[in-house]
Structure 1
Amino acid sequence: MDAMDGKIFLGGGGDDYGTKQGLALKYANRHGLIAGATGTGKTVTLQILTEGFSAAGVPVVLSDVKGDLSGLAKAGRPAPKLDQAFHDRAAQIGFDDYAYSACPVTFWDVYGEQGHPLRTTVAEMGPLLLSRLLDLSEAQEGILNIAFRLSDEQGLPLLDLKDLQALLTWIGENRSKLSLRYGNISVASVGAIQRRLLVIENQGATRFFGEPALDLADLMRTDAQGRGMVNILAADKLMAAPGLYATCLLWLLSELFEELPEVGDPEKPKLVFFFDEAHLLFDDAPKALVDKVEQVARLIRSKGVGVYFVTQQPADIPEDVLAQLGNRVQHALRAFTARDRRNLKAAAETYRDNPRFSTEEAIRDVGTGEAVTSMLGPKGAPGVVERTLIRPPATQLGPITETERRALIAASDLAGKYDTAVDRRSAYEILKQRAETAATEAAAAEDRAETAAAAEREFNAARRYSGARVSRSSARMQSSRSGDTFGSALSQAVIKELKGSTGRRIVRGILGSFFKGR
């Protein structure tokens, strides 16, 4: 689909326009920006860039916010009037080989309804992005970091939401011991995290977290003709949970950054990533997250990945991130308010001036299907800003039918790989088994204690009522001992009596009679 060697043809030409404009594949990993008000043509620009990358053998990942990008999977067949307008535009800008064609497409969906299920594990998401998703305070994020540390130290894999919920419950129950090592753990903070987990669970995040997790290699495929696969993430429903949407895309970008090797400056990107509705990534985002995005944007280009942000206002993108975006397509910005005029002026100041016209006026005045463009040129230097007629797309404008989507999903070489969720042994099951084992041991200990107590009560009862429990031989011995004791006592009494004066008289009398008889 290229009309320029080594470039993706964007458009240009005409009496009031400059030369042909194209995005050099060599500098496509220097990132880019597609901006403009609603209805000015951002979606078509995204579509033709995707077609160009795919034709050059570069896989693409993009989110379908409005549900109309599925048309990339089908060759364009517009109505007769639109068809004529497309060919007239192609002739005007010198796009001589313009023809309709389709792109190879793989559909993905976090909810598993409009594409192959897209999943990751809680561990792969990490505490920073998960804190962003849950909108946690600093103290709550600290507890989440403790949970991830304990997961590693105690061999408790965090795969899905119930794993994290179980581990947080265990942390709350053992907070006294854990606080000595990790710092204060508040029950209120643990409870707040659990409530946030319940909210995203109700939004359908249970389908996003789990296994089988996405294999990044499945995003970087080419078809039999060598065309790059276009991976479309269904986001029309996902947009109802903007936090989950933003976190999902940032996770994909972070995973690419972590997993891909350094390649320097390749002749073409290994993968191109489009962030539609990019302002959702940065609205109310903590500084740590913005810094993370800036770091990834700055460094991921050396891994052969190009990142393109699609938004209404360039001001939606933090300045440090905006400074990394070398290739720019600026559709019309309307200046209805003082703030709009300031934004328009700020947008114009980011371009390299063209002496033929005012950049600010051009951005304000371009119509639908037109744009102000600035692409990186030789040695990566920003090109002079040009007014550009955007070329017509080769794929279908608007969505394909649900039947066509289902047929493409069923025919995909990934069919069946991610369809069935797997729930293997992880933190939830391990902690549950520990609790059951502890309960069993506690019950056994209680039984032993009860048996010992019963035996002690029986022994004490036997001591109080021993006469009814002894044998006859023992009774005879006891009786004998009793008789001996009585005779001994009587003898002692007699001896004592005989020792007295009365005793001496009795003795003398007895002895006297005895001797008289002699």
Structure 2
Amino acid sequence: MADKEAFFKSITEGYATKGDAITLGAAMLDGETLTNAFVKIPLKTLNRHGLIAGATGTGKTKTLQILAENLSEKGIPVLLMDMKGDLSGIAQPSPGHAKIEERHEKIGIPFTAKKFPVEILSISDQEGVRLRATVSEFGPVLLSRIMDLTETQSGIVSVIFKYCDDNKLPLLDLKDFKKMLQYTTDEGKEELSKDYGRISTASTGAILRKIVELEQQGADLFFGEKSFETEDLLRIDENGMGYINIIRLTDIQDRPKMFSTFMLSLLAEIYATFPEQGDSGRPELVIFIDEAHLIFKEASSALLNQIESIVKLIRSKGVGLYFVTQNPTDVPDGVLSQLGLKIQHALRAFTAKDRKAIKLTAENYPISEYYKTDEVLTSLGIGEALVSALSEKGIPTPLAATMLRAPMSRMDVLEDSELKELTDNSKLIKKYSEVVDRESAYELLNKKIEIAEREEVKAKAAKEKEAAEKSSSRSASRKSSKSTQSIWVKTLTSPTVIRSVLGILGKMMR
């Protein structure tokens, strides 16, 4: 039996904060919740990223909901990736329950039902604000990495972007990019080879197949205009609460390439547009990526390096990234090592492989004199988790098995009528609902090709006319020559000429 008083002291001192913090719940020891032994996460460290992991049904999504609510309440906007479609209920208050009241009594904090300002976003045909980005904004490097291109193929993509920049050909959607690929190996082959080097038809064919693969996963809906402006994620409502932006992704779970394309584009745009924050004391935006293994699934080493770089750099912009997945091993080690907050729900050991994975997971947490971490991982109940965070000084806090507080909002989806009301009142839907298809590379290249074809037809007609005229002139000359010859023959063989000649010859003989 562990020393309860010593444990209580280690928790209250280890999680003590001078600045603002989020209270996750109360620490547990030997299955008992210690009232007022609060486990707190300082706002100052929330841009140090984090992980929420655990087996299916252990409460990961509700933990995500708790964090999002508390951040919003403190005026910090949130972006949620809703893969299962069960987070929209944040827009409505919790109906409450006796078990919720009982849980909060154990923790030592009152329960308050509350709704939060929510914006529904979408990258597909689902209801919500449409998120789009142009191919040009994506850039040649990221586009090449998403498609897992070879060095030669990546070079061709860079050449295409450079040619389009030099010739003022906007690359807005995949239709534009495909047209450019066709142009480089057909009509514009000679033009590009003169200024940019020869481009292999085999390489452009391989790139085109990769583009088609992206289109099959729905990327043609994502690439285009009007581009989403990242500052629209930072809105605060009239009550000073941060908006919780929920991206509905229920229809792209089986399209990991589309998901990773979108996520990397969004993170790269946020990094490029957000100002440097330094040590501001609170994050500007916190992003939760549910079913995070989809980002890393089938990702090439180049793509993983890109993700790792963004995770390392984006916190300087005041942005925190939180990955939600079943097992920490779903996240590459290079990314996992950057995560300051770890909330680990229960894991289940059904096989020898599972038991090995649990022992490996336990090694990711600080050593505790109060817990056998691998045993605790299999005995946690629903809504309980092992927590390891960073203090305000950046020091890892004591490991705490935690009874988590309940969400203040509804733990269920919105009804269709509620969702319609939410989207009907959205200012952003009005802003981004219109699909813009302005003149871009596709149309401009088609015009260029049409002009070239007309010029070619004119040149061909002129050559044919010139050839016809030359042929006509030669024919006339031949006719004239024949006519002259005919006249001379007729003249020389006429009876008068013959008689005259014979007369002259007769006189000469006399």
Q: Which moved more, 1:162-171 or 1:111-120?
A: 111-120
Q: Which moved more, 1:63-72 or 1:104-113?
A: 104-113
Q: Measured at CA, do residues 63 and 458 of structure 1 come closer, stay the same or move farther in structure 2, by a change above 3 Å?
A: same
Equivalent position of 1:44 in the other structure: 62
Shift of 1:346: 2.0
Q: Is the 8 A contact 2:145 2:302 kept in 1?
A: no
Q: Is the 8 A contact 2:349 2:378 kept in 1?
A: yes
Equivalent position of 1:155 in the other structure: 168
Q: Is the 8 A contact 2:91 2:409 kept in 1?
A: yes
Cα distance per residue 1:458-516 (max 9 Å; x no partner): 2122112228999xxxx999999999xx89x979x97xx97xxx8xxx7xxxxxxxxxx
Equivalent position of 2:81 in the other structure: 63
Of the three residues 118, 130, 134, the one matched with 2:147 is 134
Q: Is the 8 A contact 2:218 2:258 kept in 1?
A: no
Q: Measured at CA, do residues 454 and 53 of structure 1 come closer, stay the same or move farther in structure 2, by a change above 3 Å?
A: same
Give matches, 1:14-29, under 5 Å.
Answer: 16-17=32-33, 19-29=37-47
Equivalent position of 1:221 in the other structure: 235
Bigger Rg, structure 1 or 2: 1
- Secondary structure of 1:425's aligned partner: coil
Q: Is the 8 A contact 1:133 1:244 kept in 2?
A: no
Give matches, 1:300-449, under 5 Å.
Answer: 300-449=314-463
Q: Measured at CA, do residues 458 and 90 of structure 1 come closer, stay the same or move farther in structure 2, by a change above 3 Å?
A: same
Q: Is the 8 A contact 1:58 1:228 kept in 2?
A: yes
**CA separation in 2, counterparts of 1:324 and 1:430?**
45
Shift of 1:306: 0.6
- Secondary structure of 2:81's aligned partner: strand
**CA separation in 2, counterparts of 1:316 and 1:182?**
42
**CA separation in 2, counterparts of 1:34 and 1:448?**
73
Shift of 1:144: 2.3
Of the three residues 263, 272, 275, the one matched with 2:277 is 263
Q: Is the 8 A contact 1:269 1:306 kept in 2?
A: yes
Equivalent position of 1:198 in the other structure: 212
Cα distance per residue 1:401-428 (max 9 Å; x no partner): 1221111111012132111111111111
Shift of 1:44: 0.4
Shift of 1:6: 0.9
Q: Is the 8 A contact 2:75 2:242 kept in 1?
A: yes
Structure 2 residue identity aligned to 1:437 = I
**CA separation in 2, counterparts of 1:461 and 1:160?**
58
Asked if 1:72 corresponds to 2:85, the answer is: no
- Secondary structure of 1:34's aligned partner: strand
Structure 2 residue identity aligned to 1:141 = S
Shift of 1:21: 0.8
Q: Is the 8 A contact 2:148 2:302 kept in 1?
A: no
Equivalent position of 2:102 in the other structure: 88
Equivalent position of 1:516 in the other structure: none
Equivalent position of 1:250 in the other structure: 264
Cα distance per residue 1:21-45 (max 9 Å; x no partner): 1211011111111111111110000
Structure 1 spans left out of the alignment, 5+ residues:
507-518
Q: Measured at CA, do residues 350 and 180 of structure 1 come closer, stay the same or move farther in structure 2, by a change above 3 Å?
A: farther
- Secondary structure of 2:462's aligned partner: helix
Equivalent position of 1:107 in the other structure: 120
Shift of 1:195: 2.5
Q: Is the 8 A contact 1:31 1:306 kept in 2?
A: yes
Of the three residues 188, 191, 195, the one matched with 2:202 is 188
Q: Which moved more, 1:119-128 or 1:142-151?
A: 142-151
**CA separation in 2, counterparts of 1:39 and 1:476?**
113
Equivalent position of 1:231 in the other structure: 245
Length, aligned pairs only: 486
**CA separation in 1, counterparts of 2:121 and 2:342?**
28
**CA separation in 1, counterparts of 2:325 and 2:142?**
22
**CA separation in 2, counterparts of 1:38 and 1:142?**
43
Structure 2 residue identity aligned to 1:149 = K
**CA separation in 2, counterparts of 1:191 and 1:368?**
52
Shift of 1:282: 1.6
**CA separation in 2, counterparts of 1:467 and 1:138?**
69
- Secondary structure of 2:418's aligned partner: helix
Equivalent position of 1:511 in the other structure: none
Shift of 1:436: 0.4
Q: Which moved more, 1:170-179 or 1:206-215?
A: 170-179
Cα distance per residue 1:281-326 (max 9 Å; x no partner): 1223222222222221112111111111111111111112111100
**CA separation in 1, counterparts of 2:148 and 2:420?**
35
Of the three residues 96, 114, 117, the one matched with 2:130 is 117
Give matches, 1:469-508, under 5 Å.
Answer: none
Shift of 1:58: 0.8
Structure 2 residue identity aligned to 1:198 = V
Q: Which moved more, 1:277-286 or 1:217-226?
A: 277-286
Cα distance per residue 1:359-415 (max 9 Å; x no partner): 222122111110000111131111011010010001111110122111111101213
Structure 2 residue identity aligned to 1:449 = K
Of the three residues 27, 34, 37, the one matched with 2:52 is 34
Q: Measured at CA, do residues 452 and 202 of structure 1 come closer, stay the same or move farther in structure 2, by a change above 3 Å?
A: same
- Secondary structure of 2:468's aligned partner: helix
Structure 1 residue identity aligned to 2:161 = F
Q: Is the 8 A contact 1:72 1:395 kept in 2?
A: yes
Q: Measured at CA, do residues 132 and 37 of structure 1 come closer, stay the same or move farther in structure 2, by a change above 3 Å?
A: farther
- Secondary structure of 1:66's aligned partner: coil
| C-alpha RMSD over aligned residues | 3.0
Equivalent position of 1:282 in the other structure: 296
- Secondary structure of 1:100's aligned partner: coil
Shift of 1:186: 2.9
- Secondary structure of 2:40's aligned partner: strand
